[in-house]
Amino acid sequence: MSASPHLPWEVIERIIGHSGDYWRTLRSLSLTCKQLRPYSLCLMVADVTFSRSEKIFAFRDFLCTQPQFRPFVRSIGMGDPTYLAFHLLYLLPNVTRMTMLDYSIRRGSPPRVCSLPRSVLACYRTMGTRIETLILVRLSFPNPQEFC
């Protein structure tokens, strides 16, 4: 009987890397083999999006119990920019991309005017210096000082 075919580890990592946009595939890979789990989990946390504040708090709790995943988070997206600042930015040293999207408004309606408390703006100024890409979808600010 012949041995089963073996792929070099580099090929397996590239296959997992190409699955980075497919969360279900990464989850399946992480559950298939314990050797695939670490790399799959790193890709699963690289780009996270939250539609509700409860999800932000759950992810924060996950990062507090599993701090080894903090450096792998590169991009975050959320529906309410108020919650993110205090709860995640200080934990994530390598975030370079942030998306703020108002999920409560239907397409075609005017953007929601977003006014952030001074404490949140101060947190964004302090912790958001690493952000290279900021995407605002269906949000507007009442004046430039609110945004800057």
Residue 147 has pLDDT above 70, yes or no: no
Q: Tell me: the pLDDT tens digits for 119-143?
A: 777 777 777 788 888 887 776 666 6
pTM: 0.73
Query: Residue 26 in contact with residue 43, Cβ under 8 Å?
Result: yes
Q: How far apart are CA 23 and CA 40, in angstroms?
A: 9
Q: Give me the mean pLDDT over the 33-38 stretch.
A: 82
Comparing 25 with 81, the larger pLDDT belongs to 25
**Count of C-beta atoms within a 10 Å radius of residue 36:** 18
Bridge-based pairing of strands 133-137 and 139-140 is: unpaired
Beta strands in 20-138 (DSSP E): 47-50, 75-78, 97-101, 112-113, 133-137
User: For the chain, what is the mean pLDDT?
Assistant: 78
Tell me the C-alpha to C-alpha distance, in Å, between residue 104 and each of 23, 142, 147: 24, 19, 21
Q: Give the whole-number percent of the chain exceeding pLDDT 70.
A: 74
